[in-house]
Amino acid sequence: MTLPQIYSAPEIPVLENLQKKFTDYQNFKNNTPIVIDYGSETCRAGWATEEDPRLTFQNIVSKFKTKKSAFKNSILVGNDVYSDPLAYPNYRSPYDNGIVNNFDLVENTLDYIFVILGINTESIEHPIVMTEPLANLYASRKCMNELLFECYSTSSVAYGIDSLWSYYYNTQNLNINPNEDSIIISTGNYFTNIIPVFSGKPQIQHAVRINVGGNSMADFMLRLIQTKYPSLPVKINDYQSKLLTYNHTYFANDYAESLECSLNKNNLSNFDHIIQFPYKTISVIEKSQEEIEQQAEKRKENAKNLQRIAVRVRQEKLEKKGTEKIELLELLDEINKLDELDSSHAIKIKSLLKQNDFYSKKEIEDEVKKIEATLKRARDKDLGIDPNENKEPHKFDLIDIPDDQLNAEDLKEKRKQKLIKANIDARERMRLAKIEEQKKMDQEKKKDNELKKNNFDFWLTQIKNKRQAILDKIDSKKNLKSELSNRRSHASQQRMKNIADLASNETPSTGTRRKRQEDSDDNFGQDDSDWNVYLDISKDNLDEDDNPEAELIQINELLFENDPEYLKNLDNKARDEIENKILYRFYSGNLEAILTDTAVPKEHSFNTSNVGDITETGDSADDNKIITDLDLNDDKNIDSLPNNGAFGLKNEVDEINELTARGNQIHLNVERIRAPEVLFDPSIMGVDQAGLVEAIENIWKKFPKKSLSFTNNIFATGLGFTNIPGFKDRLKKDLTSIFPVDTDINIKLGNTLGNDAWKGAALWSRTLFEGSENSDYVRSLQSNSITRKQYEEYGSEYLQEHLYSNMYYKQQN
């Protein structure tokens, strides 16, 4: 078996270098347009005259209270969020479901952009070229316009669709003929848009949006992991799920076929990815011989001390008894004296008795006798005299004499003797029975040994059968227990029936009425077996004298001495059985199963040598959860944990560590292809929409005369799915199946995927500038931008349409 590849779980990085401010603003003072690709995942911003964006940052804002000395309330934007460990957990995005709706955060990001660009004038004197989502909501655009014109007093703003600018940029260097039919597939963070292009002109009115994007895929992945490992001790955050998705998933070329063989055993070692989350290991501190001796010495000394204390306590007790006796004797003397003197002292005697908590003289005498007896016993013990030694044997002389020949006292004595005799006889009988039993057992043992000697094989099979019987017993016990936990099971109903029968006075209607009446007063409880009814109705069968688990351990040890191979094979078989389960492979990949109850006795499965104290090397202890994971669906699986030798585990500590490790890891196998598949079949994650290929098929019908000329120009952009391995091949394969045979399908990926939209927008504004006779960017962009005048005149929802923008329809109010 090849060792599985284990990936360590991604962690939120700590950013060392913050974004530096730029100091070359004076070079751009002549109204150079600022291009902002305001994406939902990444925001890019820079000067239109440059090839690349100055800033590329994750479009998030964190408002939090920092612990750092200088300030309290803090706002960090973009990747700077990673610079403070308190910031990331508080991050928010200006986007909600693919639409910009939190303009407070937009303001923060725009501030950030302008500050970093080094703008120090009183207003933003630059035209702004900005991206917006396909078919952006009017409300969102309205707020953006208000923000840009009212807060920053920009001169003009041009909105365009990111994927269209990306397409525009790539027509220049991807040999897409700018005048040909094409289809643009834009896979974003929230959505995937498909926009047809007729002879170089994008057709927004025919565009289609699938509500599935890179973010939904990562979110789906997170939910998959959470449902698969509900008791994982680590909480996985969005950041981790995103990284896991982008680094471990791929598009299956044939999803159905890949699913089919995804959990095959020989396929799994490559397919299954193990993600290991951090965990604490425990280790053994080995002790030297000297230390062990020292410990033994210490223990001995402690024992001696305890003994000494015990002796002293006993002595003290005896002394106390002695003094008590003397006191009592004195009291007795006094009473006797008073008694002899005069009978009129009766009241005085009574009060004296009462003072000492006695009622009569006799009581005091009894007490004295009792104390004397204890003292004598103690003395005897000290001298080593057996208390029974001096006792004369009981006299049974009166037993055989008939009652009528005895007086009252002798009769009493006779009864006493009778009782004692019965007692002694019973004891004797029991002793004999015990000896008998011992004899029987010895005989059986002898027989057993003989059988073992003469017919070893038969003997062994007998033992094995016995073992199986015990296993069956354990199983049936377990079954009963699990059945009783289910109210509707047969066992539970039987139990309820029993209880009901016991509770009702009505006995089953057999026999005559009189008989039933007799039965109702049925002397229940006189017979011992009557009480077994409680065993029947008790939920956990309390058979205490019957412990199959202990018996199993005994028999396992016996078998291990005589036939170790048999047990090892049994273990291997059990392991194989677990590993052959689909669910086990789904949850644990092709790792070797660890059994809780190995047939091979535990102490033989490790080379236990010098095991000292177990200590944790981690900071704190919370290892109770180790085994809780794996899965909750398959009880067998939880049972299947501990095991042995196969990993080369040295001892139980290693095993525990391995278990902890497994409790803190997740296996990605089916998920690796299941998560990205949402693009082709959104119904997998419950989005009731057709997948990408069906969408393209529908758009194809909208092309003039159902022309197929676009198949040569299928252009994919955006970072949602396009950089997941296998995207292009899968799309091509699926498209081949819907188009006529021999259709030329050519899928072109954007040049830089992420930055194409920004670059396109910058190129677009440069081209407009160069194509016009204007010496000013504001003027050259004017026909494609919302100017301040238009904003004031047409209202804040107004949009100036151009080739790469959304469409605008003036609402009649």
Partner 1 sequence: MSSLPKRKKTNPFKNNGYKATDAEDSDEFPTPPDHTVVYNLLEVEKPFKKAKYKNSKRIKPTRQHIAAEKAKEWPNDFPTFWSIAQAPSLKPNKKYCDITGLHAFYKDPKTNLRYHNAEIYQAIQQLPPSAEQTYLSLRNANVVLR
Residue number, 562 or 689, with CB nearest to partner 1: 689
CB closer to partner 1, 560 vs 586? 586
Cα–Cα distance between 610 and 618 in angstroms, integer? 22
Strands 192-198 and 273-276, by their bridges, are unpaired
Identify the CA nearest to 328 among candidates 359, 363, 375: 363
- Of 591, 579, 593, 587, the C-alpha closest to 5 is 591
With CB under 8 A as the contact rule, the residue among 301, 577, 635, 776 that binds partner 1 is 635
Phi then psi dihedrals of residue 275, to 5 deg: -105, 115
Q: Phi-psi region for residue 379, left (φ > 0), alpha (ψ -120 to 50) or beta?
A: alpha
Query: Which position among 89, 139, 303, 336 is part of the footprint of partner 1 (CB under 8 A)?
Result: 139
Beta carbon of residue 303, minimum distance to partner 1 (angstroms, whole number): 48
Would you count residue 96 as binding partner 1 (CB under 8 A)?
A: yes
Nearer to partner 1, 646 or 687 (CB): 687
Residue type, 436: E
Region from 174-182, 220-228, 320-328, 334-342 binding partner 1, contact rule CB under 8 A:
220-228
Q: 179: burial class by Cβ within 10 Å (0-12, 13-18, 19+)?
A: exposed
Nearest approach, Cβ of residue 200 and partner 1 (Å):
19
As measured in angstroms, the least distance from the Cβ of 201 to partner 1 is 14
Task: Tell me whether residue 137 or residue 460 sits nearer to partner 1 (CB atom).
Answer: 137
Asked if residues 800 and 76 have their Cβ atoms less than 8 Å apart, the reply is: no
> Which tokens go with 232?
């994982």
Phi (first) and psi of residue 161, to 5 degrees: -90, 130
CA distance 715 to 717: 7
Size of interface with partner 1, in residues (CB under 8 A)? 130
Q: Quote the CA–CA distance of 679 and 692 in Å, as a whole number.
A: 6
Q: Which is nearer to partner 1, 52 or 442 (CB)?
A: 52
Q: By CB under 8 A, name the one of 5, 30, 89, 121 that touches partner 1.
A: 121
Q: Which residues contact 253 (CB under 8 A, 6 or more apart)?
A: 726, 729, 730, 733
Spatial distance between the Cα atoms of 285 and 303, rounded to a whole number of angstroms: 26
Give the nearest distance from C-beta 121 to partner 1 in angstroms.
Answer: 6
CB of 202 or CB of 663, closer to partner 1: 202
Residues 323-362: x/- map of binding to partner 1 (CB under 8 A)?
Answer: ----------------------------------------
Would you list the DSSP string of 514-554?
Answer: HHHHHHHS--TTSSGGGGHHHHHH-SS---TT--HHHHHHH
Q: What is the largest CA-CA distance in the chain?
A: 152
> Which residues in the 400-429 window bind partner 1 by CB under 8 A?
none
Nearest distance in Å: CB 28, partner 1: 10
Out of 40, 56, 131, 588, name the contact with partner 1 by CB under 8 A.
56
4, 7, 406, 558: residue in contact with partner 1 (rule CB under 8 A) = 7
Torsion of CA 405, 409, 410, 413, to 10 degrees: 150
Taking CB under 8 A as the criterion, the residue among 29, 89, 150, 396 binding partner 1 is 150
> Do 77 and 110 touch, CB atoms closer than 8 A?
no
Instruction: Choose one: 138-146, 173-181, 598-606, 653-661; the region binding partner 1 (CB under 8 A).
Output: 138-146
- Asked if 590 and 545 count as a contact pair (C-beta separation under 8 A), the reply is no
Which residue lies nearer to partner 1 by CB, 153 or 177? 153
CB of 11 or CB of 450, closer to partner 1: 11
Residues in the chain: 813
Nearer to partner 1, 240 or 787 (CB): 240
- Please name the residue that has the structure tokens 């002898």: 446
Q: CB-side exposure of 302: number of CA atoms within 13 Å?
A: 6
Q: CA of 356: how far to CAs of 157, 336, 374, in Å?
A: 110, 15, 21
Q: How far apart are CA 277 and CA 662, in angstroms?
A: 9
Instruction: Kindly tell me which of 27 and 520 has the beta carbon lying closer to partner 1.
Output: 27
The vertex-224 CA angle with 223 and 225, nearest 5°, equals: 90
Q: Which of residues 190-219 bind partner 1 (CB under 8 A)?
A: 193, 204-205, 207-211
What would the two tokens of residue 275 be?
């993600």
Residues 246-275 that bind partner 1 (CB under 8 A): 246-247, 256, 259-260, 262-263
CB of 539 to partner 1, least distance (A): 19
Shortest Cβ distance from residue 588 to partner 1 (Å)? 13
| Residue range at the interface with partner 1 (CB under 8 A); choices 347-355, 578-586, 594-602, 641-649 | 578-586
Sheet arrangement for strand 61-65: 73-77, 61-65, 91-92
Q: Which tokens go with 266?
A: 């020989």
Closer residue to partner 1, CB minimum distance, 228 or 473 = 228
Whole-number minimum distance, CB 102 to partner 1, in Å? 5
The only residue of 180, 551, 694, 801 in contact with partner 1, by rule CB under 8 A: 694
CB 601 within 8 A of CB 568: no
Cβ proximity to partner 1, 558 vs 687, nearer residue: 687
Question: Applying CB under 8 A, does 803 fall inside the site for partner 1?
Answer: no
Stretch that binds partner 1, among 10-18, 332-340, 433-441, 553-561 (CB under 8 A): 10-18
Taking CB under 8 A as the rule, which mask of x and - marks residues 650-689 in contact with partner 1?
Answer: --------------------xx--x------x-xxxxxxx
State the Cα–Cα distance between residues 591 and 575, nearest whole angstrom.
Answer: 11
Report the relative pairing of strands 714-717 and 182-187 from DSSP bridges. parallel
As to burial, measured by CB atoms within 10 angstroms (0-12 exposed, 13-18 middle, 19+ buried), residue 300 is: exposed
> Which one of 35, 36, 43, 84 is in contact with partner 1 (CB under 8 A)?
84
Inter-residue contact 721 to 192 (CB < 8 Å)? yes
102 interacts with partner 1 by CB under 8 A: yes
Tokens of 650: 């040295």
Q: How far is the CB of 717 from partner 1 (least distance, A)?
A: 17
Q: Which structure tokens are listed for 604?
A: 């033989």
Whichever of 17 and 617 has its CB closer to partner 1, that residue is 17
Phi, psi angle pair for 126, to nearest 5°: -105, 145
Among 5, 30, 85, 702, binds partner 1 (CB under 8 A): 85
**What minimum distance in Å lies between the beta carbon of 626 and partner 1?**
20
Instruction: For partner 1, give the closer residue by CB, 8 or 767.
Output: 8
Q: How far is the CB of 745 from partner 1 (least distance, A)?
A: 20
Residue 76 found at the interface with partner 1 (CB under 8 A):
yes
CB of 147 to partner 1, least distance (A): 7
For partner 1, the closer of residues 132 and 658 by Cβ is: 132
487 is an interface residue for partner 1 by CB under 8 A: no
Pairing of strands 192-198, 208-210: antiparallel
Positions 719 through 758 that interact with partner 1 (CB under 8 A): 754
CA 650, CA 102: separation in Å to the nearest integer?
Answer: 58
Candidate segments 42-50, 562-570, 658-666, 769-777, binder of partner 1 by CB under 8 A: 42-50
Contact 556, 474 (CB under 8 A): no
Question: Closest distance between partner 1 and the C-beta of residue 269, in Å?
Answer: 18
**Which residue's CB is nearer to partner 1, number 183 or number 224?**
224
216 vs 93: CA distance, rounded Å: 15
- Which of 34, 48, 128, 134: binder of partner 1 (CB under 8 A)? 134
Residue 695 lies near partner 1 (rule: CB under 8 A): yes
